């Protein structure tokens, strides 16, 4: 902050903000003063108040970016808050969350104070220019008395008075610039600390979700092995044991038992393949998400309309999370929803850095997150990657699950 370059930059910023901030707060004041009375005029006021909220956010974002560019605190930029709710209610909740965002208001407070300091710098700069002009007055107007800022100055004192006034004004400008740096550290820098604390909390939640997702997946594998493959392999062993006992005394019956064991063995192999596919679908690596989901849709007991549009690969982890979320959703729909059709939509949104998917069925609804259940496993797997999962399943249907997962950088 104390380097001459940063000090000069702060002075230039203050001079600009004195004019820019005045214009910004004038516009915001007009929006809120007209918007509140205008609420009764067919919602016109609501649009103005909406513009006011997002005008606040835009001004706060630019102020944070300006301070970061000047002082280099290492802050991430402000990010708009989003409601987990859907529809118009979710939109209103998003606007409210943005309005009460503490980081935004700290930046707005800093902009307001900086505007005052900027106006002071402009006034002091004017005083400094007048002082310099007065200091050189004996050169271009010798023997002429003058008035400066309402004070009468005799000609013989003009040079000294102007020089002292200019020095005082310049020192005051530097002091205001230093004060700007102090205010930035007090009001803007804590935003970085709050954001880092929030990121730490998010990382803790993601780690916990990853642990729960692993526990749910392990329990599912154990259940599938215990209820499916293990009994079948035990049956194969018993059947082969009976065949071994009868192979000399009753070879025909022994052949039938061996054939039965062979059939059971092939069924066990199929179940093991399905179990392995549940752990990781190799087709994802080989042919991508579209092909993997096509295979899932073809095995579904409910007709599935699949709409996948991928402009590029989204990363192994992101594709795997979305694949398993869709596969588990289709399994749940087949078991519980009594649906006649399902629709699966997948979009890669590289401009937002996310892989987005939505699964919707026309079933009876009423789906809920239950600890250890399939939907809980989906939620844990998605949030462990820093994504979001939204379930909407009112009684009577339809049920929809929407997931967004950050793509690999």
Q: Please indicate, yes or no, whether residues 58 and 179 belong to a single structural domain of this protein.
A: yes
Q: Please indicate, yes or no, whether residues 18 and 132 belong to a single structural domain of this protein.
A: yes
pLDDT in tens, 122-138: 999 988 887 787 777 66
Q: Please indicate, yes or no, whether residues 135 and 257 belong to a single structural domain of this protein.
A: no
pLDDT in tens, 324-348: 888 888 887 887 778 888 888 888 8
pLDDT of residue 388: 83
Please give the span between the terminal C-alpha atoms of the chain, in angstroms, as a whole number. 34
Question: What is the arithmetic mean of pLDDT over 177-193?
Answer: 76
In a domain, 344, yes or no: yes
In a domain, 204, yes or no: no
Question: What is the arithmetic mean of pLDDT over 53-63?
Answer: 91
Question: What is the arithmetic mean of pLDDT over 368-391?
Answer: 76
Task: Work out the percent of the chain whose per-residue pLDDT is above 70.
Answer: 74
Q: Which of 253, 279, 305 is the last residue of a domain?
A: 279
CATH of the domain at 332: 3.30.565.10
Q: Please indicate, yes or no, whether residues 377 and 263 belong to a single structural domain of this protein.
A: no
Q: Which residue has the higher pLDDT, 174 or 186?
A: 174
Q: Which residue has the higher pLDDT, 29 or 98?
A: 29
In a domain, 87, yes or no: yes
Question: What is the arithmetic mean of pLDDT over 34-53?
Answer: 81
Mean pLDDT of the chain: 77
How many distinct structural domains can be found in the chain? 3
In a domain, 208, yes or no: no
Q: Which residue has the higher pLDDT, 365 or 268?
A: 365
Q: Which residue has the higher pLDDT, 194 or 171?
A: 171
Question: What is the arithmetic mean of pLDDT over 352-366?
Answer: 84
In a domain, 207, yes or no: no
Banded model confidence at residue 3, pLDDT cuts 50, 70, 90 = confident
pLDDT of residue 278: 55
pLDDT in tens, 71-127: 877 766 777 777 766 677 778 888 888 888 888 888 899 999 999 999 999 999 988
Banded model confidence at residue 1, pLDDT cuts 50, 70, 90 = very low
Q: Please indicate, yes or no, whether residues 137 and 220 belong to a single structural domain of this protein.
A: no
Q: At residue 181, does pLDDT exceed 80?
A: yes
Domain, as residue range, for 55: 4-199
CATH of the domain at 230: 1.20.5
Q: Please indicate, yes or no, whether residues 18 and 82 belong to a single structural domain of this protein.
A: yes
Q: Please indicate, yes or no, whether residues 29 and 161 belong to a single structural domain of this protein.
A: yes
pLDDT of residue 402: 86
Q: At residue 7, does pLDDT exceed 80?
A: yes
pLDDT in tens, 17-28: 999 999 999 999
In a domain, 265, yes or no: yes
Q: At residue 236, does pLDDT exceed 90?
A: no
Q: Please indicate, yes or no, whether residues 72 and 149 belong to a single structural domain of this protein.
A: yes
Q: Please indicate, yes or no, whether residues 260 and 395 belong to a single structural domain of this protein.
A: no
Q: Which of 245, 279, 313 is the last residue of a domain?
A: 279
In a domain, 393, yes or no: yes
Q: Please indicate, yes or no, whether residues 308 and 360 belong to a single structural domain of this protein.
A: yes
Q: Please indicate, yes or no, whether residues 220 and 260 belong to a single structural domain of this protein.
A: yes
Q: Which of 279, 307, 333 is the last residue of a domain?
A: 279
Q: Please indicate, yes or no, whether residues 222 and 164 belong to a single structural domain of this protein.
A: no
């Amino acid at each position: 902050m104390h380097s001459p370059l940063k000090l000069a930059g702060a002075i230039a910023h203050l001079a600009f903000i004195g004019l820019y901030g005045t214009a910004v707060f004038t516009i915001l004041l007009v929006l809120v003063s007209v918007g509140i009375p205008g609420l009764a005029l067919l919602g016109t006021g609501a649009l103005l108040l909406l513009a006011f909220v997002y005008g606040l956010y835009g001004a706060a974002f630019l102020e944070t970016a300006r301070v970061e560019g000047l002082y280099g605190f290492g802050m991430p930029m402000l990010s708009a808050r989003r409601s987990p709710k859907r529809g118009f209610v979710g939109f209103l909740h998003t606007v409210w969350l943005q309005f009460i965002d503490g980081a935004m208001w700290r930046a707005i407070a800093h902009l307001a104070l900086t505007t005052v300091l900027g106006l002071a710098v402009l006034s002091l700069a004017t005083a400094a220019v007048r002082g310099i002009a007065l200091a050189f007055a004996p050169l271009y107007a010798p023997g002429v008395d003058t008035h400066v800022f309402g004070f009468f100055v005799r000609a013989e004192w003009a040079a000294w008075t102007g020089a002292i006034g200019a020095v005082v004004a310049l020192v005051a400008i530097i002091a205001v610039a230093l004060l700007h740096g102090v205010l930035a550290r007090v009001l803007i820098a804590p935003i970085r600390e709050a954001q880092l604390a929030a990121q730490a909390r998010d990382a803790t939640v993601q780690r916990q979700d990853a642990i729960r997702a692993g526990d749910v997946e392990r329990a599912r594998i154990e259940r599938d092995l215990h209820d499916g493959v293990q009994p079948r392999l035990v049956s194969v062993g018993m059947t082969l044991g009976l065949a071994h006992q009868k192979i000399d005394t009753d070879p025909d019956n022994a052949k039938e038992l061996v054939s039965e064991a062979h059939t059971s063995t092939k069924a066990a192999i199929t179940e093991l393949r399905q179990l392995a596919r549940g752990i990781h679908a190799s087709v994802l690596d080989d042919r991508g998400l579209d092909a993997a989901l096509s295979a899932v849709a073809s095995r579904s007991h409910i007709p599935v309309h699949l709409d996948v549009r991928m402009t590029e690969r989204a990363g192994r982890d992101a594709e795997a999370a979305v694949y398993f979320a869709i596969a588990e959703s289709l399994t749940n729909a087949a078991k519980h929803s009594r649906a006649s059709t399902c629709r699966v939509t997948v979009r890669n949104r590289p401009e937002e850095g996310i892989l987005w998917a939505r699964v919707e069925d026309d079933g009876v609804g009423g789906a809920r997150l239950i600890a250890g259940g399939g939907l809980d496993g989906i939620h844990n797997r998605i949030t462990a990657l820093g994504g979001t999962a939204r379930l909407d399943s009112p009684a009577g249907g339809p049920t929809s699950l929407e997931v967004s997962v950050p793509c690999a950088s």
